[in-house]
Amino acid sequence: MLDVLATGYPSFDTIFPVSRSAAVGETALIQALPDDGQIPFGGCGANVAVGLSRLGFRTGLAMILGDDALGNSYCDYLGQQNIDQSNVICMPGEQSSRSYLFRNPDGEYQNFFFAGAADAWNGDLTLHGLEQVRYGLVTVGPLHYNRQFVEQCASANVPIIWQMKPDIQAYPPESLSLFLQASEIILMNRFEADLLLTATGARSLSDLLRSKTQVIVLTRGADGVTVYADGEQVAVPAIQTHVVDTTGAGDGFTSGFIAGVLQGRDHETSARLGAAVASFVVEKIGCQTNLPTWEDVLKRYEENFGSL
């Protein structure tokens, strides 16, 4: 039994600290070069799957890699992390996805993404083992792939958790209603919320709660999160810590929140677990570099929120 089957672009994240975010025609200084031999593993779906695995849950990935050296190294790594790979596709002759992220002194990013094999795939998807999956997680990925993922999960009565991303190619406005109507839980930041409200014409996030969509989580960075559910709004603060790199903080939050859902905890407790996981992620460079164990999360939770 898999607790979560996650989909989305894989990525190898090369992160550059820069003097400022340059506009078109301007130059900014790269302040340090990353170690080419230490490119962090990334990709939203993979970040969450590995995060949950570190917390003791059983997870799998449905994603597309190239059969290059990077793709092979990712498969080896996923095996070490006990991630089920029965739905991972390796495309012959294709390169794996990469991200080049430029972080300014305020912690803001510009991301230049090479989709590679993931966008080269244009087949008919067949997901394996859905009858043994508790939740399907949709993150940013090829639209053609994610549509089929959602349709097959729905046919197998697997509830969907949707983690949004303001990516016009992965989520063109006309496609948003498909994912909205299919999702039981939706997680988004302020920019993604504005995109969804504009696309749907809804006046507030509460208006999007329907028979299918039961929970909406709005993340607000250092200002914490707000959970919309059951006609109520619950605010949970972020945990204060030494911030080195915010890449992957949202995925870390998603890992902790889903952990709470899988354990049957209430929305506020689940959001607090998300805050605890995210607080570890930002302490190191890379999305998966500092993912905590359950014991780590429990200790930090109790230090900040009291007994779990």
Among 86, 91, 98, smallest CA distance to 62 is for 86
Asked if 5 and 62 touch (Cβ cutoff 8 Å), the reply is yes
The range of the structural domain enclosing residue 185 comes to 2-305
Report the SS3 class of residue 289: coil
* Spatial separation of the C-alpha atoms in residues 58 and 191, rounded to whole Å: 31
CA distances 281 to 104, 194, 256, Å, are 18, 26, 11
* Spatial separation of the C-alpha atoms in residues 186 and 300, rounded to whole Å: 25
Write out residues in the chain with pLDDT < 50, as ranges: none
Q: In what order do the strands lie in the sheet with 11-17?
A: 41-42, 11-17, 98-103, 109-114
Place of tokens 């949004």: 164
Report the SS3 class of residue 148: helix
DSSP per position, 122-136: -S----S-GGGEEEE
Place of tokens 């090369």: 14
Per-residue confidence (pLDDT) for residue 168, from 0 to 100: 73
The tens digit of pLDDT for each residue in 79-133 reads 999 999 999 999 999 999 999 999 999 888 899 999 999 999 999 999 999 999 9
Provide the CA 221 distance to its chain's centre, in angstroms.
14
Q: In what order do the strands lie in the sheet with 225-229?
A: 84-91, 59-66, 2-7, 133-138, 160-163, 183-189, 215-219, 225-229, 232-236
Distance separating the N- and C-terminal Cα atoms of the chain: 26
Rounded-to-10 torsion of CA 52, 216, 189, 121 = 60
Asked if 134 and 111 touch (Cβ cutoff 8 Å), the reply is no
Per-residue confidence (pLDDT) for residue 37, from 0 to 100: 67
Identify the CATH number of the domain in which residue 288 sits: 3.40.1190.20
Number of domains in the chain: 1
Per-residue confidence (pLDDT) for residue 39, from 0 to 100: 83
> pTM of the full predicted structure?
0.95
